[in-house]
């Protein structure tokens, strides 16, 4: 098979972890005789520094010409610490989502036996937890208009907007994922307060009639946030709107014991983007200590969901699990008395595993 991917390392630790994920992808493609073509492009703070635009037209063109996008992270302290900055790295991420039609962010939350002790929750609560969060990405409060401040600057306002079409396409996608898993879907909203949430619930109930095999439940977002901590094993697939999803997916990520382990996929109308859920972690940039596993697992998701290469994706996941089992891990998840490995050492171990197995 011929695979064409755009590689967008981004900022901070992005280039370091994306390099390891790309190496694992190259190794798998060589093993299974796939033709892999890839090109790099700028996004985020590095793109602002070079072009003044966090998502340059040339980057967008490359993404549109590619079958999938492997993405690192964006963000830089000099922009975070400057409230007057008119152009920010995060605007590049929003522009990419909008221009590529990335309407659904998919985050699997899976526990690893060797890391249960790292979770802030008791082992008996999280052992075997395995659920998927699907977050709407291109609507809601983050994109609603009007948005702004009053002339005196003392009042600010944002607008949450959702159309029936936006809700239908993501809720239907969530039902389809539930059908492939344990056939349970949790729809999260705030329908007791918000008009947009009432539309979400109304549309979801209509679509649920087309999926009678799926057990469907509706939770207010505050209740869902509590239950994710109290009973994470009760979830299978969760779907929700943009801001609620932003918060709940980060909450779910810490259950596993490390944000450095969780991949994600953003499913789009034109192409799909695969990225780790962690940020750019600028404090670690250039130190060769960042955990590359989430990005490597994102590459596995890319192979499975963008190219339907399940066996190849499975081999990468086996390599990741094996590296954790024998303790070839970075300092963030190394146990007491363990010598942590560097970013490149973890990446090279996984490449060697792929070549040998």
Structural contact between residues 124 and 225, judged by C-beta atoms closer than 8 angstroms: no
Opening angle at CA 22, ends 18 and 27, nearest 5: 150
Catalytic residue among 190, 236, 281, 353: 190
Opening angle at CA 250, ends 222 and 105, nearest 5: 100
Structural contact between residues 252 and 263, judged by C-beta atoms closer than 8 angstroms: no
Tell me how far apart the alpha carbons of residues 60 and 66 are, in angstroms, rounded to a whole number. Answer: 10
184 an active-site residue? no
Catalytic residue among 142, 218, 281, 353: 142
Contacts 24+ apart (CB under 8 A), 200-205: 200/162, 200/167, 200/171, 200/241, 203/164, 203/167, 203/168, 203/171, 204/167, 204/171
What are the Cα distances from residue 331, in Å, to 21, 292, 334, 351? 18, 11, 5, 20
Catalytic residue among 80, 250, 305, 318: 250
What are the Cα distances from residue 289, in Å, to 47, 117, 333, 344? 24, 21, 11, 8
190 an active-site residue? yes
At 66, list the tokens: 């590619």
* H or E stretch covering 180: helix 164-180
39 an active-site residue? no
3 state DSSP class of 209: coil
331: how many CB neighbours lie within 10 A of its CB? 15
Structural contact between residues 166 and 136, judged by C-beta atoms closer than 8 angstroms: yes
Catalytic residue among 67, 80, 130, 246: 246
Catalytic residue among 39, 82, 205, 222: 222
18: how many CB neighbours lie within 10 A of its CB? 26
CB-facing half-sphere around the CA of 22: CA atoms within 13 A: 22
165 an active-site residue? no
246 an active-site residue? yes
- Taking the CA atoms of residue 280, residue 274, residue 134 and residue 74 in that order, the dihedral angle to the nearest 10 degrees is 20
The residues assigned a catalytic role are: 142, 190, 222, 246, 250
């Amino acid at each position: 098979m011929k695979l064409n991917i755009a590689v967008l390392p981004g900022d901070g630790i992005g280039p370091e972890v994306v390099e390891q994920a790309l190496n694992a992808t190259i190794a798998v493609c060589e093993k299974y005789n796939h033709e892999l073509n890839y090109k790099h492009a700028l996004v985020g703070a590095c793109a602002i520094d070079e072009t003044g635009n966090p998502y340059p037209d040339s980057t967008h063109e490359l993404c549109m010409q590619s079958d999938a996008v492997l993405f690192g992270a964006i963000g830089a302290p000099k922009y975070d610490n400057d409230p007057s900055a008119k152009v920010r790295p995060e605007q590049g991420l929003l522009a990419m989502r909008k221009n590529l039609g990335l309407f659904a962010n998919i985050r699997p939350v899976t526990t690893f036996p060797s890391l249960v002790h790292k979770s802030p929750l008791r082992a008996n609560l999280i052992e075997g937890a395995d659920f998927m969060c699907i977050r709407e990405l291109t609507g809601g409060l983050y994109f609603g208009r009007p948005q702004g401040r009053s002339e005196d600057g003392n009042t600010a306002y944002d607008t949450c907007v959702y159309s029936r079409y936006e809700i239908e396409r993501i809720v239907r996608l969530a039902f389809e994922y539930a059908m492939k898993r344990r056939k349970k879907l949790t729809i999260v909203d705030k329908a007791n307060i918000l008009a947009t949430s009432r539309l979400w619930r109304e549309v979801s109930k209509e679509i649920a009639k087309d999926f009678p095999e799926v057990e469907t439940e509706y939770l207010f977002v505050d209740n869902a946030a509590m239950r994710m901590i109290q009973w994470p094993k009760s979830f299978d697939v969760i779907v929700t709107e943009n801001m609620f999803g932003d918060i709940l997916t980060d909450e779910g990520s810490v259950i596993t014991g490390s944000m450095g382990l969780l991949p994600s996929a953003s499913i789009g109308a034109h192409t799909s983007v695969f990225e780790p859920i962690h940020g750019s972690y600028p404090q670690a940039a250039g130190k060769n200590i960042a955990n590359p596993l989430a990005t490597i697992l994102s590459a596995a998701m890319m192979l499975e969901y963008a190219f339907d290469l399940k066996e190849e994706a499975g081999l990468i996941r086996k390599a990741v699990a094996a590296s954790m089992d024998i303790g070839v891990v970075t300092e963030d998840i190394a146990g007491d008395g363990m010598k942590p490995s560097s970013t490149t050492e973890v990446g090279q171990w996984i490449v060697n595993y792929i070549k040998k197995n």
